[in-house]
Structure 1
Amino acid sequence: MAETEANRRGRDGGGGELTVGSHRRGGPVPAAAASATSVGSRSAGRNGWAQPAAPGTAATDPGEADLDPRPDPPARDRYFDTLRAVALVRVVAYHTFGWAWAGMVFPSMGVMFALAGTLMAKSLERPALKVIRGRLRRLLPPFWFWGVFVVVAMLIHDWMPGWQIVYWIVPLGDPPGNAWGEQAWEILWYLRTYLWFVLLSPLLLRVFRLAPVPVLLLSLGPILALHFAWEPPDNRLGSALTDLATFLFCWILGFAHRDGVLRRLRPSAVAALSLAALAYGGWYAFTHQAETGSYDLDDIPLAQAFWSAGFVTLLMYAKDHFRIDFARLTRFRRLDRLVTVFNARAVTIYLWHEIALILAVPLIDRFWNVPAFETYLPLESQWFMFGVGWILIAVFVLLCGWVEDVAGRKRPRLVP
């Protein structure tokens, strides 16, 4: 597959289910991943999305209605919807341009995991087994559909799979692949992390509600332990433990928002602790560049964990404290429609965005053979590649997005 900057830094992306990932390192999926999951490099991006509810308004979930059918679905929370859409755009931008500073401007994967945590806390008002089964049903079919194309393409390009191919059925570990297809499959770290958070959430939520604030603060402990006390093995287990520890705070922060814990905290305490986390994360990233060659948060889990913790806490606390809901977004119909599509197709965008960027390279190469294109189009610009990538993403949304509808037991649509 074509080589891009994202192949070296793919760990971004983005995410909550589309929380809604990235490359090692970088959500969410992630997507996305996303929701699914919440989605590109180790950020992205891939998972499910929820609807608002008091006291801490929950993120909206386009697939929630099929689990709890109602005649009139509750209004969507446009603040969370907008955050998820921005996270997906940032994941695609990161995988196009490879900006090291992108994660500091907007930590997509932290945002997506926090939104997914909020949704999960809301959903667990129902029986846990039913919720987990619903999450798996909405996440796995789009993953399988996408995976068929990637696996067949790698087989054609001389890949010889072993027993680890089972991770292409249920990604509890990083699915295997060859170097030819690495840029496409490296984003699956977000789906794997999201899936583990879903499975662990009934226990995590129970522990959180025993002592909300202490548990929230202590959720940064695992990443500190993995960094300073015990180095995880360089294998699937080590990768999974590192990712879970990195984004554990953000997931539990979603619990805190849903349960109204954040809303009850003093603004001065939230601001002080959040700024301290940002300061430590930023300081660690800039003072340890020699270890990774960059201050990119996707390559520095400890810095990622603290920067995301501080940044996302401020975002979620601001929603309640300043009563931000972005309700006026509905006045801009085209923009509101775009946000709706991004949320309803978060898993699709996260899974297919890297393939879109890969295909953009040979497509642009063909443009050089057309004199008018060569003269008038900025074919050498990465911004042009970014635009072509989004056109191809839109094509994939039209061709493949219906799988998300089927997985959610809804009538398939070209555009939601």
Structure 2
Amino acid sequence: MSWEQQQGYPQQGQGYGQEYGYSGSVQQPYQQQPYPPQAYPQQSYPQPYSQEYVDHGYDGQSVPDATSPMPVVEPEPEPPVLEAPADAEAEEEKPPSRPPGRDRYFDTLRAVALIRVVAYHTFGWAWAGMVFPSMGIMFGLAGTLMAKSLERPAFKVVKSRMRRLLPPFWFWGLFVVLAMLIHDWMPGWQIVFWVVPLGDPPGNQWAVQAWEILWYLRTYLWFVLLSPVLLKVFRLAPVPVLLLSLAPIVVFHFLWEPPDNRLGSALTDLATFLFCWMLGFAHRDKVLERLKPLVVVVLSLAAIGFGGWYAFTHQAESGSYDLDDIPLAQAFWSAGYVMLLMWAKSYFGIDFAWLTRFRRTDRIVTIFNSRAVTIYLWHEIALILAVPLIDQFWNVPAFEKWLPLESQWFMFGIGWVLIAVFVLVCGWVEDVAGKKKPQLLPGGRPARMGM
């Protein structure tokens, strides 16, 4: 809960969003007016990936491998291709080879997680977190990538993560803060959290739907800062430490309730997803591969079972069985679900290499991973803007007759159109933050002479 809400601003719903700094409150579907209101952007091919797994989005990006000590002799450039050879078209039809150093399984999980987040904030489905616990999955992916990055000096890794996260946040925050100031917001010293979100950034109720999602960036940032210590502790006794990482949320729920302020919000969210982050360490260190399959499956199903049971038997306290309203249930359900995904990846060697044969789908997955921060930050604003935009459609008789203007699915589609606009207009900030040449859309085919 933001500082301002504690001072008397009206509460909206329940759950982490208002009590724990978590944006998972059960949002009511956006309402669209049944009648007209009274007043009121060539197909391209993926670029070859780098040798190092590029850690995009919330998880930052890995630093490329050191250059080879052997000198590279550049071939003498050929003359421009003025006419394509006879087999050029057939050559282009060949599916791209598997990108070296990348794992499309993780890339796909992140893309699906982002889609699920947008769907949840559109429809407010209470069951969405049980079908696919996006937040736990994204923390698990971030944990394994952080463990990989910490093979380098910790200070450089933390600095790199913050550099990749903060500029997109500042760029987005500039618009949100200015809009709130125009709408009579009077900030206090807590505005410093809009510079480094170690606590919930303050805001007014007018823009709560936009800024309430920042709990994730705040929690991720704390995990990044704590990871050098957490990884050292984990490697002392991997399995016991992994199991004990569920203890904090149990303590917070049954023995000591954190205060209802910024500190309490941060502690609760960290405890809720600590196991998922540590699972990322376990996957990177191949701890899960060494466990017996029966043990992993039994423990995972037990955690899922307990989380589901607790959610359904405590609806009276939260108002629904939505995991985002019940931190204890969220912690155990996500723990079991993410453990199965991580273990299956290690045990069965899943890598989704086949995805590269489908150029369009593979390109979409690449865009989602390269623009993950942009999509996450701007998706709520896109959904907010979709409502008045659809309202204007009612003024066009043909739209009113032939378009499903009352359908939430229509608004979901319009929301993604606006998200695509924000990706095109604002996504370059992620490239700048990652010290790369800005691109309109990542993953395109490099230009060739004569084409």
Match of 2:354 in 1: 328
How far did 1:367 drift?
A: 0.3
May I ask how many residue pairs the two structures share in their alignment?
A: 374
Match of 1:317 in 2: 343
| Pair 1:61-2:55 in alignment | yes
How far did 1:65 drift?
A: 5.0
Q: Deviations over 1:311-361 (max 9, x none)?
A: 000011001111111000001100000000000000000000000000000
Match of 2:23 in 1: 23
Separation (CA, whole Å) in 1 of partners of 2:410 and 2:66: 43
Separation (CA, whole Å) in 1 of partners of 2:15 and 2:376: 12
Greater alpha carbon shift after TM alignment, 100-109 vs 321-330: 321-330
Q: Deviations over 1:79-115 (max 9, x none)?
A: 0000000000000000000000000000000000000
Match of 1:143 in 2: 169
Structure 2 segments unaligned to the other structure (5+ residues): 1-11, 27-48, 73-98, 443-451
| Pair 1:340-2:366 in alignment | yes
Q: 1:317 is aligned with what amino acid?
A: W
How far did 1:75 drift?
A: 2.8
| Pair 1:213-2:207 in alignment | no
Match of 2:433 in 1: 407
| Pair 1:246-2:272 in alignment | yes
Counterpart contact for 1:51–1:61, Cα < 8 Å: no
Separation (CA, whole Å) in 2 of partners of 1:24 and 1:312: 18
| Pair 1:93-2:96 in alignment | no
How far did 1:244 drift?
A: 0.1
Counterpart contact for 2:15–2:24, Cα < 8 Å: yes
SS at match of 2:339: helix
| Pair 1:255-2:281 in alignment | yes
SS at match of 1:197: helix
Separation (CA, whole Å) in 2 of partners of 1:379 and 1:278: 38
Separation (CA, whole Å) in 2 of partners of 1:64 and 1:222: 29
Greater alpha carbon shift after TM alignment, 76-85 vs 66-75: 66-75
Larger RCO, structure (CA 8 Å, separation 6 or more): 2
Specify whether residues 337 and 157 from structure 1 end up closer, same or farther in structure 2 by C-alpha distance, changes over 3 A only. Answer: same
- Equivalences for residues 270-285 of structure 1 within 5 A: 270-285=296-311
Q: 1:243 is aligned with what amino acid?
A: D
Q: Deviations over 1:199-237 (max 9, x none)?
A: 000000000000000000000000000000001100000
Q: 2:250 is aligned with what amino acid?
A: L
Q: 2:252 is aligned with what amino acid?
A: L
Please say which structure displays the higher CA radius of gyration: 2
Specify whether residues 25 and 243 from structure 1 end up closer, same or farther in structure 2 by C-alpha distance, changes over 3 A only. Answer: farther
Q: 1:61 is aligned with what amino acid?
A: D
- Equivalences for residues 13-412 of structure 1 within 5 A: 23-25=23-25, 60-62=54-56, 64-66=61-63, 68=65, 70=67, 74-412=100-438
Q: 1:23 is aligned with what amino acid?
A: S
Q: 1:226 is aligned with what amino acid?
A: F
How far did 1:74 drift?
A: 4.2
Separation (CA, whole Å) in 2 of partners of 1:167 and 1:293: 31
Separation (CA, whole Å) in 2 of partners of 1:233 and 1:161: 22
Counterpart contact for 2:15–2:326, Cα < 8 Å: no
Specify whether residues 65 and 189 from structure 1 end up closer, same or farther in structure 2 by C-alpha distance, changes over 3 A only. Answer: closer
Counterpart contact for 2:14–2:319, Cα < 8 Å: no
Counterpart contact for 2:424–2:440, Cα < 8 Å: yes
Specify whether residues 185 and 10 from structure 1 end up closer, same or farther in structure 2 by C-alpha distance, changes over 3 A only. Answer: farther
Greater alpha carbon shift after TM alignment, 74-83 vs 226-235: 74-83
Specify whether residues 9 and 293 from structure 1 end up closer, same or farther in structure 2 by C-alpha distance, changes over 3 A only. Answer: closer
**Runs of 4+ displaced beyond 2 Å:** 7-12, 50-53, 62-75
Separation (CA, whole Å) in 2 of partners of 1:10 and 1:339: 31
Structure 1 segments unaligned to the other structure (5+ residues): 1-6, 13-20, 27-49, 54-58
Q: 2:303 is aligned with what amino acid?
A: A
Separation (CA, whole Å) in 2 of partners of 1:52 and 1:402: 22
How far did 1:76 drift?
A: 1.4
Separation (CA, whole Å) in 1 of partners of 2:225 and 2:126: 32
Q: 1:207 is aligned with what amino acid?
A: V
Separation (CA, whole Å) in 2 of partners of 1:89 and 1:24: 15
Match of 2:448 in 1: none
Q: 1:308 is aligned with what amino acid?
A: S
Q: 1:179 is aligned with what amino acid?
A: Q
Separation (CA, whole Å) in 2 of partners of 1:286 and 1:51: 45
Match of 1:34 in 2: none
Counterpart contact for 2:170–2:195, Cα < 8 Å: yes
Q: 1:252 is aligned with what amino acid?
A: M
Question: Alpha carbon RMSD of aligned pairs, Å?
Answer: 2.0
Separation (CA, whole Å) in 2 of partners of 1:242 and 1:267: 31
Q: 1:310 is aligned with what amino acid?
A: G
Counterpart contact for 1:115–1:254, Cα < 8 Å: yes
SS at match of 1:295: coil
Separation (CA, whole Å) in 2 of partners of 1:237 and 1:112: 22
Separation (CA, whole Å) in 1 of partners of 2:241 and 2:254: 20
Match of 1:44 in 2: none
